[in-house]
Amino acid sequence: MFMKLFTIFFFSLLSQSLQSSSRTLDFTYNGFVTEYYSNMYNNISIEGTASLTSNGLLVLTNTNFQGTGHAFYTKPIRFKDSPNDTASSFSTAFVFAINPQIPILSGHGLAFVVAPSLGLPFSYPSQYLGLFNISNNGNDSNHVFAVELDTIRSTEFNDTDDNHVGIDINSLRSVESSPAGYWDKKGQFKNLSLISGKRMQVWVDYDGRTHRINVTMAPFRKVKPMKPLVSVIRDLSSVLLQDMFVGFSSATGSVRSEHYVLGWSFSVKGEAPPLSLSKLPKLPWFKDTRIDRFISLLLIPLLFIISLLFLVRFILRRRRKLSEELEDWETEFGKNRLRFKDLYFATKGFKEKDLLGSGGFGSVYRGVMPKTEKEVAVKRVSNKSKQGLKEFVAEIVSIGQMSHRNLVPLLGYCRRRDELLLVYDYMPNGSLDKYLYNSPDVTLDWKQRFKVIKGVASALFFLHEEWEQVVIHRDVKASNVLLDSEHNGRLGDFGLARLCGHGSDPQTTHVAGTWGYLAPDYIRTGRATTATDVFAFGVLLLEVACGRRPIDQNENGERLLLVDWVLGFWTEENILDAKDPKLGPEYDQREVEMVLKLGLLCAHPNPQVRPTMRQVLHYLKGDAMLPDFSPSDFCGGGMTLGINQGLGELATFIGVSSIADSILSGGR
């Protein structure tokens, strides 16, 4: 059935073409340069602003002045077999693009044109699209057929909008027009913007028998829609002459605009050959959608993979950062060892904000333990030498088991590489030094100070004599005395001084401690003893009673030892004048005097003369009277000389050894 119909149709077509006895003419330009013909021989004649680019684009306009551009197929096309015959069917297809340089101020459009001559002399630019001039517009003697792709609404030509397609016969006043767009397969109208810069296809078909003119549009790469955009019945026999020229016309106004034709095919008495869209030349601004697709196909997964890698790296880093390092020897300290992760979260990653202070042994951070919500102080001690760490941890843990009401409780430790983290109870009232100097906001009255002194003394006594082994604190000072919620003095940082010196030869042990608290015998020999702790405690007693630093400056800017200063008052028999004026009137005169003298006795240059902590505790509790001694016991090669000598030696000592300033965290 189908075959039969087809054969009939075929033969009727054949007979028709035999009747008209003329061969069909057609040509195809997939770009306007061919392999064998240079621009000159490609049968395209250009005029006005038009030009051809080396890659084969037909540029109709590319200027910002008023001008017209024409491009015509150089040979005349025979539309009629004889001058009085009816016009034959014809068909054309082309791809164009308009550069959207300034979208709101677009230039004018372009038109496919069938004209009686090669070019359109006397035509006007701007809204005349290079087709007509003001006097011949609308005159039937023009013999011009055009399809305009107009981007400006010219009310004088009854344009419907600034983005329309119209069929023009001898006049810019279109016989039929429509907003640019196409009817898709579902029968829905889709708008197209002519100045979008996108490539678009246009088909113009004229049926010589039915006289129907169809204009159809579609986006690039879309198949030709079934339903035309503009369709009208008009016999073109009176318009078209026997031989006509076909081509394109465009014009600019005052705004720069660029009109391009990328490919074109034409046929008389047949359908225009389809264009090979993939062979068309590239537009200067156009990025190939295949590249876009390639990029999106390749780049998006690539980006995804990269971001995944970053995420994995971040997670791994974080895990490594928070990972635990447990060495075999540490298992015996089991419950004293805390998890680094907990400490990390407790201190919110050791934030600067939570830094309580930093000193010779490291920085102290405030934190809240995750589960128990207990407030803690975490001390980060960095330790350069790994050897001896085991012994030190053992000692710390053993000391941590000591429980004394005047020691800051050590809750546990954590070791990570060569860093040691010691976790203490958080002391809400801070360290003693903050209440003594630098015009403190809160001062302690004598009762409170005396309680603190007694507390520290009993802690030191505990370390020296009551614990199973002798523990030398090595860094007794006001900033190491912390006040708990009841303002009890608690000694912190015990045993830490060992860390800086451990593992090295006792002969060359570095002097560790704090400037102003170092006993002269310690500086000379480098050996810490209980007596060197007593010396430092003596300095602390004077500090508490006088509210002054161990080494201060007088009005003349000279450095002054607190010991010398107190001794000076005693020599003048008014030792009580050395007391802290911030004490106020409420104090026990006998106690203050006793503390000042005891401080001097403890800080005696001769370690043999210094009392033991047991004796000190007796004196403080009033169980024993201070031995009889006078300022003269310190003179004559005594106190003053001893201390100064000690400092001098220390200075040289610092000069020759590489002792870090940080170890001697001087006078905070």
Ligand X SMILES: *[C@@H]1O[C@H](CO)[C@@H](O)[C@H](O)[C@H]1NC(C)=O
Query: Can you say which residues are annotated as belonging to the binding site for ATP?
Result: 379
Q: Are 51 and 32 in contact (CB under 8 A)?
A: no
Torsion angles phi and psi, residue 565, rounded to 5? -65, -45
Interface segment toward ligand X; rule CB under 6 A; list 1-9, 129-137, 431-439, 589-597 = 129-137
d(CA 235, CA 230): 16
Hey, which bits of 253-296 come out as E strands? 257-268
Cβ-based neighbours of 574, under 8 Å, separated by 6 or more: none
Report the nearest approach of ligand X to the CB of residue 300 (Å).
28
Residues in region 80-99 near ligand X by CB under 6 A = 82-84
Question: Is residue 81 among the annotated active site residues?
Answer: no
Helix (H) or strand (E) holding 250: strand 243-252
Report the nearest approach of ligand X to the CB of residue 315 (Å).
47
Q: Which amino acid is at 469?
A: Q
Shorter beta-carbon distance to ligand X: residue 139 or 644: 139
- Provide the 8-state DSSP code for 145: E
Question: Which one among 117, 139, 307, 323 touches ligand X, defined by CB under 6 A?
Answer: 139
Question: Which one among 26, 30, 31, 42 touches ligand X, defined by CB under 6 A?
Answer: 42
Shorter beta-carbon distance to ligand X: residue 136 or 201: 136
Shorter beta-carbon distance to ligand X: residue 2 or 122: 122
Interface segment toward ligand X; rule CB under 6 A; list 35-43, 345-353, 432-440, 482-490 = 35-43
Question: Which one among 23, 185, 221, 227 touches ligand X, defined by CB under 6 A?
Answer: 227
Structure tokens at 70: 């024409």
Nearest CA to 544 out of 626, 497, 481 is that of 481
Shorter beta-carbon distance to ligand X: residue 214 or 443: 214
Residues 180-209: x where in contact with ligand X by CB under 6 A, - otherwise, as a string: -----------x-------------x-x--
Residues in the annotated binding site: 379
With 0-12 / 13-18 / 19 or more C-beta atoms within 10 angstroms meaning exposed / middle / buried, residue 108 is buried
β-pair partners for 178: 165
Interface segment toward ligand X; rule CB under 6 A; list 45-53, 127-135, 348-356, 477-485 = 127-135
For ligand X (CB under 6 A), the number of binding residues is 27
Interface segment toward ligand X; rule CB under 6 A; list 136-144, 344-352, 628-636, 654-662 = 136-144
DSSP codes of every residue in 15-79: HHHHHHT---EEEEESSS--SS--GGGSSEEEEET-EE-TTS-EEEEEESSSEEEEEEESS-EE-
Shorter beta-carbon distance to ligand X: residue 224 or 582: 224
d(CA 259, CA 50): 9
Residues 13-32: x where in contact with ligand X by CB under 6 A, - otherwise, as a string: --------------x-----
- Catalytic residue chosen out of the listed positions 150, 433, 475, 493: 475
Report the nearest approach of ligand X to the CB of residue 143 (Å).
10
Does 10 contact ligand X by CB under 6 A? Answer: no
Shorter beta-carbon distance to ligand X: residue 139 or 657: 139
Q: Are 55 and 281 in contact (CB under 8 A)?
A: yes
Torsion angles phi and psi, residue 329, rounded to 5? -65, -15
Helix (H) or strand (E) holding 295: helix 289-322
Report the nearest approach of ligand X to the CB of residue 205 (Å).
4
Question: Which one among 53, 136, 177, 250 touches ligand X, defined by CB under 6 A?
Answer: 136
d(CA 266, CA 264): 7
Q: Are 408 and 424 in contact (CB under 8 A)?
A: yes
Helix (H) or strand (E) holding 656: helix 639-656
Shorter beta-carbon distance to ligand X: residue 34 or 196: 34
Structure tokens at 590: 């006998």
Question: Which one among 9, 37, 65, 304 touches ligand X, defined by CB under 6 A?
Answer: 37
Tokens 């318009």 locate to: 239
Shorter beta-carbon distance to ligand X: residue 2 or 36: 36
- The percent of the chain in helix, strand and coil, each rounded to the nearest 5, is 35, 25, 40
Start-to-end CA distance of the chain, whole Å, equals 110
Residues 523-542: x where in contact with ligand X by CB under 6 A, - otherwise, as a string: --------------------
Helix (H) or strand (E) holding 218: strand 212-219
Report the nearest approach of ligand X to the CB of residue 149 (Å).
15
Tokens 């800051």 locate to: 408
Does 141 contact ligand X by CB under 6 A? Answer: yes
Does 331 contact ligand X by CB under 6 A? Answer: no
Question: Which one among 78, 173, 234, 524 touches ligand X, defined by CB under 6 A?
Answer: 173
β-pair partners for 131: none
Report the nearest approach of ligand X to the CB of residue 141 (Å).
4
Q: Which residues bind ligand X (CB under 6 A)?
A: 27, 34, 37, 42-43, 82-84, 122, 133-136, 139, 141, 158, 161, 173, 179, 191, 205, 207, 212, 214, 227-228, 231
Which active-site residues does the annotation give?
475
